[in-house]
Structure 1
C-alpha cells in the first residue's frame, strides 16, 4: 500500500511543501521549544540565501536544518532537477535521517557500483543528474520536444513535419499551437529555457566564425553571444506564443489537445509525447500523432526522487529509492507490458537513467528500442551559467509578455501576418528593451528573489501594461501599412 499525494504540478508541489513545512516548524518552535514565532522567522527558516547569520532568523534556519521536522510524507517522487535543487537548498530534502542512517547516502553505501560514471553519471551535457550532497537523484531521463498531429498539419497544407522549435513560429500555425503557462509547470519552463539556450549556442557559434574572433577575448564573445541569443530566443518565443490557441495550466494537457486535433502541435516532455503516440496508434503501426526532440535544441535531464526531512518511515523510503534505481526497478519504466520484468498492463514509456541498462538484451523488451538518449548530451551542452540566473525570470517574463497579454499579442500577430510583416510593426512587436538579459538577471531577478508578492505584482503589472501597449501599437502600424503586397 502506497499513499500517493498528488497536489498538482511543480508550482502546486512547491506551495504544498512550503506551507506544510512552515506549519510543522512553527509548531516545533512554539510548542516544543517554547519560543515566540514571528513573520521574520517564517521568512528565514527555509531561506538558503539568508545573509544575516547572527539574528533570530539565522537561529531558526540552523534549528530547522538540524531538526527532524516532518510533514507526514516520506518521498518526493518525480520532477525536474531545478525544482529539486530549490527544495534541497530550502532544507526540505535530506541525504539521510537525523541519526545519519537511511536515505540516498545509505543506498550509495550499499551499492557503490551503481554510482560510477559508467552507470549513473553525476552530470551529462551540463545537466546535473544528482545533488552533490546526495539529497536527490535522477531515476529516469527526460528530454523535451514537439508533439504534433499529422492530420491537422496536412489539413493546414504543411507538407513537412516540425523538426525544430522555430517551426512552431510558422505563421501557418496561427491558432494551432498548444502551450502551457511556465509558472504552473516546471517542465514547460525548462523547455522554454532550452529554446533560449539553443539560440545562445547558435549566436556564440556565429560570433566565433567572425574575423574578429581571432583577436577578441573568448569570454567577451561568449557574453555577447549569450545576450544576442537571449533576444533571439525571446523573439522566437513571442512568435510561438502568438500562434498559441491559449495557455493551459498543465503540461499534460498539451498532448491530449494535439491528439484530439484541437491543436496541430505543442511542446511536450518526451514521455508524454511517446505515450500519446502509442495511445492513438493504429493496428498497422501508424499514428496520427508524432513526437520529435529538436536536434541541438534539447538537453537530456532527469526526473528525480528524494527523501523528505522528517520522513515517517525512512527505512521504507530508502528501500523504495533503492528499488527505483535498481536494474529491476528500471525495467518497469521501459519494458513492454507482459515482458519479463516489465509492467503488467500499461507501458510507462520512460527511459531509464542507468547507462548500463541499454544492452541488446534489454532492448528486445523495450517499448522504444531504438532510442539512444545519451546521444542528446553529445549534441547539446547545457550551460547553467547562461540561463540559470534567469530561470525564474524566464517563467515570469513569458507569463507577463505572452500569457497575460495574449489577446493583444495574438491580435497584433494576426495583423502582421495579414499585412505582410511591415518592418516598423515587426520591430515594435519584438521590442525587448525592457527585458534585456542584463535587466532580467539584474532588476527583475532581484524582485523575484525578494519573495515580496507586492513587488512582484507591481512589476508584472508594469511590464504587462508596457507589452499590451506595445502590441496595440504593432497592430496599428501593421494595419496602417495597407494590404499585404
Structure 2
C-alpha cells in the first residue's frame, strides 16, 4: 500500500470534481452492436465508468471490432452501474475490497486523477503493462501534473483543460471582437454579458477561477484579474452546466468552463457556439484508466488498456463523426493524451482540440498556490461576488464611467487583510477547515466587500 502526500491529494481533488459532472452528460439512446464474424469464441470484459453513453458506445463498438480482427475473439462488454458518478464508483469499490480481494470488475475508467491516486494508495489497482510507443508519447508529467502513475497503476487516457465558451452569433450582432484570453472577459465591453457559476456549487467553476488566478504572476494580480471578470457577470448560476446552457438562448454571451462542456455543446449548436482554450493560461489534467485488483478477465483487460492508449484508440477522442478512424455516431470532443495524435492528425481533429504539448499552450501550475487558494477562492468569490453581486456591479459600472480611475480601481481590487498576501492567504485557507471559523471569516468578507463597493460606487469624482 502506498502513501500519497496530502498536498498532491488536495490538488488533484479539485480537478476530480470538475470531471464528475461532465462524465454524466445526458446519454443518447442505445445503439446497435458492432458487426463481427459469426462463430468467434467469446470473452468478457467488465467495466465501471462514469463516462457518458456516447463514450461507452463509441469505444465499445471500436474495440469489439478491433479485438475480433486482432485476436479472433468476440468481446462481450458489461458496464456496471452503481447508481452515480465517480464518487459513487470509488465508494463502491472501496466497500467491495474491504470485504473481498475481488470486485468481479476488470476496468475502472474515467472520473479524474484524484480517485485513481486514492485507489492506487489503497492497493486496489493492478500494475499495467505500457507499450514502448505509449511510454514514448505519454509524458510522466506535464504542466506540473502527473499524467501516468510511476508504478503504472493508472495512466491518463485523455486530458482536460479550461477555457472560454461563447455565443458567436450574439457576439457578431453586438459587434464585439471574440475573447481569446481570460483578461478579455474583464473588459468593459463584456459588462453584464458574462454568465458564471457559483463556485460553492460547482467544482469546475471553482477550478476555472483558480486557473484565472494562476495565469498572473502573483496572488494579488490574479485576484484583481478574477474580480474584474466576475464583476462583469449578468447572473450567477448554480452549476457550470447551467451557465453553459444559458448561451444558446442568448441569456448570456460568454462563460468559463471545462473543455468538454464546451465541445459537447458545440456539437449540438455548431453555428452558434464556440469554445477556445486560452493559450498558456490553462493546465491540462489527466482522466485515467486502470485495471482493478484481481480482475476476472486480466488478459482482455490489458488488451483493452492497450487499445485505449494506442494511437488508434486515442484518435477516436478528437476526430469528427465519420472521419477515418473517427466515431460513428457522436463526436466525443476530448483531448487525447498521446503526443503523436496531435502531430499526425493535425488538421483532421475537431476545431476545439488544441495541442497541449505545443510550446506555450499549457500553463505551468504552481501546485502550492493551487492547494492554498482553490478551496479558499470558492468562499472568497462567493463573498465578494455571488453574495454582493448588485453592489459589485454598481462599483464596476462606476469604474467604467470614470475610465477606471486609479484610486477607485485600487480600492475595488483591495483584499481583506487576512488574504491580502500569499502568506496570509495560505494561513487563512487552513483556518477555513474549521466550520465555525469559516462562518466568521466569510461573514466578515461579505461585509468588507459590500462596504468597499459602496465606497467605489458613491465616491466623488
Aligned residues: 382
What stretches of structure 2 of length at least 5 have no aligned partner?
A: 1-77
Given the alignment, which residue of 220, 223, 228 partners 1:234? 223
- Give the distance between the partners of 2:422 and 2:446, measured in 1 at CA: 21
Q: Deviations over 1:37-84 (max 9, x none)?
A: xxxxxxxxxxxxxxxxxxxxxxxxxxxxxx7486x8765533444x34
* Number of the residue aligned with 1:468: 446
Please say if residues 392 and 445 of structure 1, whose CA atoms lie closer than 8 Å, have aligned partners that are also in contact. Answer: no
Q: Deviations over 1:216-243 (max 9, x none)?
A: xxxxxxxxxxxxx111111221221222
Q: Write out aligned runs for 1:52-201 (5 A).
A: 68=101, 75-81=107-113, 83-84=114-115, 87-88=118-119, 91=122, 94-96=124-126, 105-108=127-130, 111=131, 113-116=132-135, 118-158=136-176, 160-200=177-217
* Number of the residue aligned with 1:63: none
Taking structure 1 as reference, are residues 476 and 180 closer, same or farther at Cα in structure 2, changes over 3 Å only?
closer
- Give the distance between the partners of 2:401 and 2:326, measured in 1 at CA: 53
Please say if residues 152 and 263 of structure 1, whose CA atoms lie closer than 8 Å, have aligned partners that are also in contact. Answer: no
- Structure 1-normalised TM-score? 0.67
What is the CA distance between 1:332 and its match in structure 2? 1.9
Please say if residues 334 and 353 of structure 2, whose CA atoms lie closer than 8 Å, have aligned partners that are also in contact. Answer: no
**Does the residue aligned with 2:248 lie in a helix, a strand or coil?**
helix
What is the CA distance between 1:262 and its match in structure 2? 1.5
- Give the distance between the partners of 1:406 and 1:73, measured in 2 at CA: 48
Please say if residues 179 and 266 of structure 1, whose CA atoms lie closer than 8 Å, have aligned partners that are also in contact. Answer: yes
* Number of the residue aligned with 1:279: 268
Given the alignment, which residue of 366, 385, 388 partners 1:383? 366
- Give the distance between the partners of 2:295 and 2:374, measured in 1 at CA: 30
2:421 is the alignment partner of 1:444: no
Taking structure 1 as reference, are residues 79 and 94 closer, same or farther at Cα in structure 2, changes over 3 Å only?
same
2:275 is the alignment partner of 1:291: yes
Please say if residues 274 and 291 of structure 1, whose CA atoms lie closer than 8 Å, have aligned partners that are also in contact. Answer: yes
What is the CA distance between 1:165 and its match in structure 2? 0.5
Q: Deviations over 1:386-406 (max 9, x none)?
A: 434443333443344433444
* Number of the residue aligned with 1:430: 413
- Give the distance between the partners of 1:272 and 1:481, measured in 2 at CA: 41
CA RMSD of aligned residues (A): 3.5
- Structure 2-normalised TM-score? 0.70
Please say if residues 75 and 308 of structure 1, whose CA atoms lie closer than 8 Å, have aligned partners that are also in contact. Answer: yes
- Give the distance between the partners of 1:258 and 1:425, measured in 2 at CA: 32
- Give the distance between the partners of 2:306 and 2:240, measured in 1 at CA: 29
* Number of the residue aligned with 2:7: none
2:399 is the alignment partner of 1:413: no
Taking structure 1 as reference, are residues 262 and 194 closer, same or farther at Cα in structure 2, changes over 3 Å only?
same
Q: Deviations over 1:330-384 (max 9, x none)?
A: 2321222223432111111223211222354x45753349843321556633332
Taking structure 1 as reference, are residues 296 and 149 closer, same or farther at Cα in structure 2, changes over 3 Å only?
same
More helix by share: 1
* Number of the residue aligned with 1:208: none
Given the alignment, which residue of 367, 370, 381 partners 2:350? 367
* Number of the residue aligned with 1:301: 285
2:385 is the alignment partner of 1:402: yes
Taking structure 1 as reference, are residues 328 and 441 closer, same or farther at Cα in structure 2, changes over 3 Å only?
same
Taking structure 1 as reference, are residues 233 and 79 closer, same or farther at Cα in structure 2, changes over 3 Å only?
farther
- Give the distance between the partners of 1:407 and 1:87, measured in 2 at CA: 42
What stretches of structure 1 of length at least 5 have no aligned partner?
A: 33-66, 97-104, 201-228, 282-286, 449-454
* Number of the residue aligned with 1:321: 305
What is the CA distance between 1:164 and its match in structure 2? 1.0
What is the CA distance between 1:415 and its match in structure 2? 4.9
What is the CA distance between 1:185 and its match in structure 2? 4.3
Taking structure 1 as reference, are residues 307 and 438 closer, same or farther at Cα in structure 2, changes over 3 Å only?
farther
Q: Write out aligned runs for 1:197-208 (5 A).
A: 197-200=214-217
**Does the residue aligned with 2:289 lie in a helix, a strand or coil?**
strand
- Give the distance between the partners of 2:458 and 2:374, measured in 1 at CA: 38
